[in-house]
């Protein structure tokens, strides 16, 4: 009985996602979604991947990382080197991007995750900058000028697949014993350690998975926007992602998704008012933080039960 209802819910999920995919694909092929909307669509998907993956580190594990753009850069450059310079197919580029960013996450995570709170934030901020400056000084990837004219390979199916993959990995991880171990680190690291959980291992694990997914987002970005240069992945980019996570609510995957959609849409709408854009952007953040300091969703998830209540349907 229970397994049957689980299976039905699974089927509904698959149906809804397939419908969404086909609908958007249909709009794109018929030209209803023009270039402008397609750019925003890509930004939304990439931002969802970034926000959801950073939320795994900041929200669920409780480790304040400010270097997410650095991992995005690693993924972007690794994939571009694969596809443009070595002539590999896109999928190889994506896999290499994930592996390279994960490796970067591991190398940075092992020494820095001994630090806590502010100290960790500063260390990750610095290491993110180190990645950027290193890229500026590698002639193979054109240094500060970056790489131009990347073949556009990121199409809607790839974006959709990567986004679903990211959300699935994070949600399935969090709702398992491994995820509970990760959350217990956030709740009380000492108690967690004394309950037999190897807290260092789980902090590094969350950090590596988060970095890997950021690398995936970087690869998507590079093959959509034709151009990557080190400055794209500076501290401000990390900060943008952090804003989405905090706005959505630390420790809420649905919150991160909603905030990523909201902020991308807001940026797009305000594009035509460059003068007041940053002011409005800041103002909205301040208002949300005053009236809802825990973020839009807090640490709750938007679930089927809540939808059920809103639509007054059966429980």
Partner 1 sequence: MSLIMEINNLDKSFGGLSAVLNFNFCLEQNELIGLIGPNGAGKTTVFNLITGVYKPDQGSIVFNGQNIVGLAPHTICARGIARTFQNIRLFNDLSVLDNVKIASHKNVPYGFLSAILRTPGFFKGEDIIEKDALKYLKIFKLDDKKDELAKNLPYGEQRRLEIARAMATKPTMLILDEPAAGMNPQETKELMKLIAQIRRDFKLSILLIEHDMSLVMGVCERIYVLDYGQIIAEGRPEEIRSNKQVIEAYLGEELE
Residue from 166, 192, 238, 264 in contact with partner 1 (CB under 8 A): 192
CB 219 → partner 1: shortest distance, Å?
20
CA distance 49 to 69: 12
176 binds partner 1 (CB under 8 A): yes
The overall longest dimension of the chain from CA atoms, in Å, is 62
Residue recorded with tokens 């998975």:
209
Contact 141, 230 (CB under 8 A): no
Whole-number minimum distance, CB 238 to partner 1, in Å? Answer: 26
Interface with partner 1 (CB under 8 A), residue from 180, 231, 280, 281 = 180
Nearer to partner 1, 199 or 238 (CB): 199
> From CA 15, how far away is CA 9, in angstroms rounded?
10
Torsion, Cα of 55, 60, 64, 65 (10° steps): -50
Q: Can you read off the two tokens belonging to residue 138?
A: 């590698």
Collapsed DSSP state (helix, strand, coil) of residue 228: strand
What are the residues whose beta carbons fall under 8 Å from the beta carbon of 120, sequence distance 6 or more? 63, 64, 65, 112, 113
Closest CB to partner 1 among 191 and 227?
191
User: Residue 71 Cβ, how far from partner 1 at the closest point, in Å?
Assistant: 19
193 contributes a contact to partner 1 by CB under 8 A: yes
Q: Which is nearer to partner 1, 178 or 225 (CB)?
A: 178
**Among residues 173, 243, 270, 288, which is the contact residue for partner 1, using CB under 8 A?**
173
Give the total of residues touching partner 1 (CB under 8 A).
26
Q: Of 25-33, 113-121, 170-178, 279-287, which segment contacts partner 1 by CB under 8 A?
A: 170-178
Site map 270..299 versus partner 1, x via CB under 8 A: -----------------------------x
190 makes contact with partner 1 (CB under 8 A): yes
Q: How far is CA 207 from CA 5, 7, 88, 253, in A?
A: 34, 32, 28, 16
Distance of CA 132 to CAs 68, 242, 243, 255, Å?
11, 18, 20, 29
Residue 288's alpha-carbon distances to 7, 247, 248, 254, in angstroms, are 38, 7, 10, 17
Cβ closer to partner 1: 62 or 230? Answer: 62
User: Interacting stretch for partner 1, rule CB under 8 A, among 85-93, 106-114, 127-135, 180-188?
Assistant: 180-188
Q: Does 13 bind partner 1 (CB under 8 A)?
A: no
User: Which one among 99, 197, 243, 280 touches partner 1, defined by CB under 8 A?
Assistant: 197
* CB neighbour list of residue 194: distance below 8 Å, 6 or more residues apart: none
Query: What residues make contact with partner 1 under the rule CB under 8 A?
Result: 3, 168-169, 172-173, 176-181, 183-184, 187-188, 190-199, 299
């Amino acid at each position: 009985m229970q397994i049957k209802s689980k299976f039905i819910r699974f089927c509904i999920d698959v149906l809804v996602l397939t419908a969404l995919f086909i609908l958007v694909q249909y709009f794109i092929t018929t030209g209803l979604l023009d270039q402008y909307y397609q750019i925003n669509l890509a930004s939304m998907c990439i931002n969802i991947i970034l926000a959801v993956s950073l939320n795994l580190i900041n929200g669920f594990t409780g480790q304040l990382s400010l270097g997410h753009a650095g991992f995005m850069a690693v993924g972007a450059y690794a994939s571009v080197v694969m596809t443009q310079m070595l002539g590999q197919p896109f999928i190889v580029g994506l896999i290499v991007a994930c592996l390279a960013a994960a490796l970067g996450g591991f190398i940075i995570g092992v020494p820095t995750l001994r630090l806590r709170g502010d100290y960790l934030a500063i260390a990750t901020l610095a290491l993110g900058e180190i990645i950027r400056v290193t890229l500026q000084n590698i002639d193979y990837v054109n240094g500060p000028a970056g790489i131009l004219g990347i073949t556009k390979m990121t199409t809607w199916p790839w974006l959709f697949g990567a986004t679903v993959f990211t959300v699935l990995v994070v949600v399935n991880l969090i709702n398992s014993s491994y995820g509970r171990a990760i959350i217990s680190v956030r709740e009380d690291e000492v108690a967690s350690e004394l309950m037999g959980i190897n807290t260092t291992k789980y902090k590094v694990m969350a950090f590596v998975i988060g970095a890997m997914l950021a690398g995936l987002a970087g690869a998507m970005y590079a093959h959509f926007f034709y151009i990557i240069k080190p400055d794209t992945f500076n501290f401000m980019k990390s900060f943008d992602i952090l804003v989405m996570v905090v706005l959505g609510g630390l420790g809420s995957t649905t919150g991160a998704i909603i905030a990523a959609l909201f902020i991308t849409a807001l940026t797009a709408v305000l594009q035509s008012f460059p003068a007041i854009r940053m002011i409005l952007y800041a103002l909205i953040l301040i208002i949300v933080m005053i009236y809802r300091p825990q973020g839009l969703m807090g640490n709750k998830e938007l679930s089927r039960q809540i939808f059920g209540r809103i639509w007054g349907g059966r429980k």
